[in-house]
A and B are shown apart, each in its own frame.
Chain A
Amino acid sequence: MRWVTRGLRNGIVTTRYPARADNYGPGYRGAVAVTDAAAASEEEAEALCRACPSGAIRRRGARILLDQGACVLCGRCVELAPTRVGFAPSVEVACTSRRTLVVPSSPHPVAGASQSPIRRPGRRRWPFRRSVHVRHVDAGSDGLEEEEILALTNPVYDVQRLGIFFTASPRHADLLLVTGSGVPGMVDALWETYEAMPQPRLVVAVGTDAVSGGFLGAGGVDRFVPVDVYVPGSPPSPFSILHGILLAIGQLQEGDGG
């Protein structure tokens, strides 16, 4: 009985995302953006490439290219060359094409830049009228992506309010969240789960490992199942994962908002 009265004590804790953009604060490491791709010299560009532990930075001559899909947000490049790269606090880092994640040409502003969410009504490219049912498969994550996916159901994110439901069976699932890079022992299970889903079906790769393989280096889950939306991050925050889901079902579009 006492829990009933305590339940009322919560007040309103639920976020209003996506109606209003929500971030974790100005210093949040949402993504690394390239602010000045032209390094002073080939040596400087090369130093940046070598500093990145996950091989996310490449160069063409003295121009640097950063793959946000391989970046683990460790911050070493930012420390080394704060005038060339910087953390963007944006949580809306998901995108539908793997290539979009290679920047420059990043849609994400860097720290300090103003955040002005402009939203267009989403074009429905997916035939879900009211709700979407989600299944998750861990294909070799380090365990944090699961924590963040699980957080989506807590009262703060409360994704049920948006008609997003987690389902026990792949047969009832419209959308598959895949974490981890697709380690050999999980490939069969991943494929079986995907195959068991009714068509049409969507796949969202959650986390840097799922997007690109991260440190394991062998590649991401799109080696095994077709991926509709990539959500980089190590791990991506609940907002980022939600952004990815909304993008996949056409409730949000790329370039919307922060």
Chain B
Amino acid sequence: MIGWEEGTLGEQVEYVEPAVFADAIAEAVEESGSLAGLFFFGDADGQVELRAVLADGGDLRQLVAVLPPTSRRYPAVGRLVEAAVRYERLATERFGIEPEGLPPQRPLARPTLRDGERRSAPVPGLFALPYGPVRSGVFESVEWVLSTRGEEILGLFPEVRPKRRGIEQAFEGRSPEEAVVVAERVEGTACIAEALAMAGALERLSGIEVPRPAALARLVHAELERIATHLSSMVRHCEGAGQAVAQARLATHRETVLRLRAALCGHRFGRGVVVPGGVTGPPMASPRDVQKTLERLEDALSADLDLLMTTPSFLDRLRGTGLLHLDEVVTLGALGPVARGSGVSDDVRHNRPTKCYEELGFRPAVASEGDALARQQVRVEEVRESFRLLRAVLAELADGSGWQWATRPWRVPLSPRDGTALGWAESPQGEVLTMVEVQGGRVRRAAPRPASFHNVDLFPAAFKGDIFTDFVFIEASFGLSIAGAAG
């Protein structure tokens, strides 16, 4: 141990030697808590900073090790803590460092060929059948690698690397405002949550709190995003189960949500609403219109969900499908509905709530069965809870026929000081964690950690004797953002 110091924000940051970095993390994970994130910040001169974020309930603390330019190796964290493997693999690709002791990485099923390269030979004895990245239907690109040995299906491995955009680099040198705009592009279906995590980190570095109306407006957009994204997952379920009417109705409800968001801010997914220090301004639609639309939507949607969740032919397809045990979910660090469907009650809105969520008495939705049905039940409960939150918040925000604070700015100016900070938010897919380093008022480096980056690793575990026709339900019940998983 090199010792510890107070971080920029008074949180605990501990510096250790790279040689004992893995052991220190393993010890902390064993004692209590989990590895929430492992971030690698590389410098032009070759120095790489390793920053582990450990969560103990709602508390976060950091363990930091610095790899000097002269050294590329350190004992891999992934040997001891499985949830770290994905991060170390990414770091190897990006910075050429060599965590020692990691199992060899699965070769790309269809590697992109560069000049003079040849396709790598398949793993002996294992037949890998790639399905994708382009496949029938409208999907984000991901290659499902079906591993078989003879006739036995060993697993379905999601290969997200073909889609990697390298979005992290797009943050470098950005102003706080721009950084939030880039964050909105990390994963589209969670763009509000990504923006909130980025804005939160910058606000923490500036020592400011957003004005009350802005905090409420942020909650409105975050919950509408959750409803829309959860509905997308449900529409896929209905499609797979051949529930044509349910599919059509839920898709129509989803469109209503997107149009409501467009009426609120001019964008169907709420891009441009969140800015560092608050939100751009009061909603464009009147409170009465918003409340009326929401009321009607809630009535219709809630009746449809009641019926859907008592339709035997629908439930039968999901029950027992894509089973994830509690220990798998914990070991691999699953997040969001994927974790909560298997009995984990973590939800940022409860563990590290903003004041609004705390006051409203938010309670996470949890189910314990661990199958696709359990994840669907969690999403249904979350949609209902979102409506409850929206009702309460809109009642407070409305002021007669207009909005509270209509003539005052819904944002405060901010100037982040130099340092590193974390931001977080609960996206529809689970916890988003973003680490930002600011220097001279600009973002020097940033690393967003979408929930799907964790959840995608649970996919192979969900195939326990499941057959190919279960695939669509398992995929829909994960609700992955491939953009988020690929980075």
Contact = CB atoms under 8 A, between A and B. Distances in A.
A140 B165 contact: yes
Nearest to A72: B181
Contact of A144 (B137, B170, B188, B311): B188
Contact of B272 (A7, A74, A137, A169): A74
A6 B162 contact: no
Interface stretch (B8-16, B23-31, B250-258, B461-469): B250-258
Interface in B261-300: 262-263, 265-269, 271-272, 280, 284
A154 B304 CA distance: 16
A185 interface: yes
Candidate in A10, A156, A193 with the most chain B CB atoms within 10 angstroms: A156
A188 B170 contact: no
Contacts of B162: 183, 185-186, 189
Contacts of A192: 134
Contacts of B167: 215-216
16 contacts: A6-B245, A7-B244, A7-B249, A10-B249, A27-B284, A53-B181, A75-B272, A138-B163, A140-B163, A142-B188, A147-B269, A155-B252, A167-B136, A183-B162, A184-B112, A185-B163
Given A28-B267, A143-B140, 19 more contacts: A3-B246, A3-B311, A7-B249, A73-B267, A75-B272, A75-B280, A79-B280, A137-B141, A140-B163, A143-B187, A143-B484, A147-B232, A154-B248, A183-B163, A185-B112, A185-B164, A192-B134, A234-B271, A235-B188
Using C-beta atoms within 8 Å of the partner chain, give the interface range for chain A. 35 or more
Interface string B461-487: 000000000000000000001111000
Interface string A40-74: 00000000000001000000000000000000111
A215 B185 contact: yes
A143 B112 contact: no
B174 interface: yes
Interface residues of B, number: 61
A87 B267 CA distance: 11
A141 B483 contact: yes
B17 interface: no
B121 interface: no
Interface string B149-183: 00000000000011111110010001001100110
Contact of B188 (A53, A147, A183): A147
Given A10-B248, A76-B177, A155-B251, A183 B262 contact: no
Contacts of A181: 165
A183 B139 CA distance: 16
Candidate in A72, A140, A166 with the most chain B CB atoms within 10 angstroms: A140
B163 A154 contact: no
A220 interface: no
A215 B232 contact: no
Nearest to B310: A2
Interface string B178-207: 100110011111010000000000000000
Given A2-B307, A187-B112, A216 B165 contact: yes
A156 B255 contact: yes
Interface of B: 110, 112-113, 133-134, 136-141, 161-167, 170, 174, 177-178, 181-182, 185-189, 191, 232, 243-246, 248-249, 251-252, 254-255, 258-259, 262-263, 265-269, 271-272, 280, 284, 304, 307, 311, 481-484
Nearest to A215: B170
Give 9 closest A-B pairs by Cβ, nearest first: A144-B188, A168-B136, A185-B162, A154-B251, A143-B188, A7-B245, A53-B178, A142-B188, A3-B245
A243 interface: no
Contact of A186 (B133, B268, B280): B133
Contacts of A79: 280
A139 interface: yes
Contacts of A113: none
A142 B141 contact: no
A72 B307 CA distance: 40
A101 to B, nearest CB: 19
A258 to B, nearest CB: 16
A150 interface: yes
A140 to B, nearest CB: 5
A237 B140 contact: no
A185 B141 CA distance: 10
B182 A53 contact: yes
A18 to B, nearest CB: 18
Contacts of A175: none
A24 interface: yes
